Chain A
Amino acid sequence: DAGVIQSPRHEVTEMGQEVTLRCKPISGHNSLFWYRQTMMRGLELLIYFNNNVPIDDSGMPEDRFSAKMPNASFSTLKIQPSEPRDSAVYFCASSTTGGAMETQYFGPGTRLLVL
């Protein structure tokens, strides 16, 4: 299995531009998580899906952020318009059913720099 796949691996953009991050979870996993990691705040859960349905989006910082999961093998996290404070590493993770005892498998992350 290829593991969780994220693209792009690196993204540099200018303030105000739209940014779209992509994730392909591990095949057979029904839960998908989006995280943001910064030096100041560490890892933060943004949103998670179960069976393609958003379950908890309380971590989404503001309306500029949106996430979709149109099918079991693909999810996007969009930032529009982007701001310099959005610069961070964004991780996608997946697990079998999202239960508290289950291991989440993380992708390699997308390093976003907003100038």
Chain B
Amino acid sequence: KNQVEQSPQSLIILEGKNCTLQCNYTVSPFSNLRWYKQDTGRGPVSLTIMTFSENTKSNGRYTATLDADTKQSSLHITASQLSDSASYICVVSSNNRLAFGKGNQVVVIP
């Protein structure tokens, strides 16, 4: 079983709308959690990173939350734009090892 589960696997949203992506993990001990954005045909780019003591972090219209007690994180996209169409990958670090989710595929339509 994958140690990092993301949901939904894919979603389609209208331009201008908000959406929330979920990441649940079983990795232990926890070091940090990072969200990456991967545009089609490109490598992943880091959006946010959170440690155990942080429960929210923003990067422009992207806001990540972390609940280390329930081992859940979310990535909220506000006022989506066409350029937000991408795969969003949740990565959890533990003892200098990384566990990757399979990603949330987001498609923003006009």
A and B from one complex: yes
Q: Give residues in A with beta carbon < 8 Å to B.
A: 4, 41-45, 56, 91, 93, 100-101, 103-104, 106-109
Against A, the Cβ 8 Å flags (1 = close, 0 = not) of B86-97 are 000101010011
Confirm or deny: B76 has a beta carbon within 8 angstroms of a beta carbon on chain A.
no
Interface size on B, residues (CB 8 A): 20
Q: Which single residue of chain A is at the shortest CB-CB distance from B101? A: A42
Which 3 A-B residue pairings sit nearest by Cβ, starting from the closest? A106-B43, A42-B102, A43-B100
A90 to B43, CA, bound (A): 10
**B100 proximity list for chain A (CB < 8 A):** 42-45
> From B45, which residue of chain A is reached at the shortest CB distance?
A106
**What is the CA–CA distance of A64 and B43 in the complex, to the nearest angstrom?**
25
B75 within 8 A of A: no
> Which residues of B are at the interface with A, using a C-beta cutoff of 8 A?
31-32, 41-46, 49, 51, 89, 91, 93, 96-98, 100-103
User: Which of B51, B93, B103 contacts A42, CB < 8 Å?
Assistant: B103
With CB as the reference atom, state the residue of chain A lying closest to B94.
Answer: A100
Contacts of B49 in A (CB 8 A): 101, 103
CA gap between A48 and B97 in the complex, in Å: 11
Q: Which residues of B contact A41 (CB under 8 A)?
A: 102
Q: Which residue of A lies closest to B99 (CB)?
A: A45
Which residue of chain B has its CB nearest to the CB of A41?
Answer: B102
Q: A42-B89, A42-B103, A43-B89 are in contact. Are A103 and B46 (CB under 8 A)?
A: yes
Residues B98 and A45 in contact, CB atoms below 8 Å apart: yes
A42-B101, A44-B100 given; 9 more Cβ-contact pairs under 8 Å: A42-B100, A42-B102, A43-B89, A91-B44, A100-B96, A101-B51, A103-B46, A106-B42, A106-B44
